[in-house]
Amino acid sequence: MAVDNVSFTVKEGEVFGFLGPNGAGKTTTISMLATLLAPTSGEAHVNGFNIKTQKDNVRKSIGIVFQDPSLDEELTAYENMDFHGRLYRIPKDTRIKKIEELLKLVELDERKNDLVKKFSGGMRRRLEIARGLMHEPKALFLDEPTLGLDPQTRNHIWEYIQRLSTEKNVTIILTTHYMEEADRLCDRVAIIDKGKIIVLDTPKNLKDGIGGDLITVETPDAESLCSHIQEFSWFKSSKQHDGYITVNVTDAERHIAEIASLSCQNNIEIKSINVHKPTLEDVFLHFTGKTIREDEASSLEHMRMVQRARRRR
């Protein structure tokens, strides 16, 4: 996915997140910042170095954990770390010390002599993060760092990322489509969709910006129910999405009965109804009109249509 004139600044020691569906442009953005892709226009600097004219200095300043696995499975954890240190020409004594320190940080010191092919997905992810820190980067890029991991392992990875930021003052730029991940880890979040940054702020400010409570109603007649709800004096705003209506109100509990009564009077079926405070998923819905899941499904269908069109040629 191409990115379209994105502009942002990340502070030293900050955890900065790109939140958006698959195909939104998150990986493309950090690939350019890491000098893996050349931008077609514009300027960007990492640690004060230009990503187009000072690539070597940028690469020395950063660590990166790719979305896809990049460890050598036939080497041990220690050997993977050692090989990476040699690539960066880290002196032997320093290299040995850093390997021990980082493997302990990610709780793999007791497994350092085990082959990586014997590691679980979570263990491999932790090793990749440790490897990315070998040369003491100023900034660490994490592309979907917990993709495919179980909730418990994901929680452990989050703890390591938070420790890197608070204890080592590493600037962290991560991509994710997990709302909870962005909410818990990031000092600021840029919501990116179709190659554009839609909104950028702290998670708290983004959620507070919606304001009030949210009532989400599942109904097969969303358009009709929405038109009736808009007649209430307390109505503020609403979004229709994939068989649901999300209504922004104040004191939501007071208005649930009115919505239920309204549906009965107009013979509108309600399958479910719930009340909650705004989340980052609601922020994404508010600014894009879709949930991330719906956006990913739409992007996937578009890709399939393009592939089918190519096959017909």
Task: Print the SS3 string covering 73-110.
Answer: CCCEHHHHHHHHHHHCCCCHHHHHHHHHHHHHHCCCHH
Question: How do 188-193 and 196-201 pair as beta strands?
Answer: antiparallel
The pLDDT value recorded for residue 176 is 93
The pLDDT value recorded for residue 303 is 42
**pLDDT below 50 — which residues of the chain?**
300-306
Q: Please give the C-alpha separations between residue 101 and each of 78, 94, 109, 149, in angstroms, as whole numbers.
A: 11, 11, 8, 25
CB 126 within 8 A of CB 80: no
Full-prediction pTM beyond 0.85?
no
| Number of Cβ atoms within 10 Å of the Cβ of 154 | 18
The pLDDT value recorded for residue 252 is 82
Domain boundaries, the chain: 15-202, 212-277
User: Which CATH class name applies to 15-202?
Assistant: alpha beta
Listing DSSP states for 102-136 in one string gives HHHHTT-GGGTTSBGGGS-HHHHHHHHHHHHTTT-
- 212-277 CATH fold: Alpha-Beta Plaits (3.30.70)
CB 174 within 8 A of CB 15: yes
The pLDDT value recorded for residue 306 is 42
The pLDDT value recorded for residue 298 is 54
The pLDDT value recorded for residue 300 is 47
What sign has the CA pseudo-torsion 176, 171, 49, 80? negative
Question: How many Å separate Cα 70 from the centre of its chain?
Answer: 20
CB 125 within 8 A of CB 146: yes
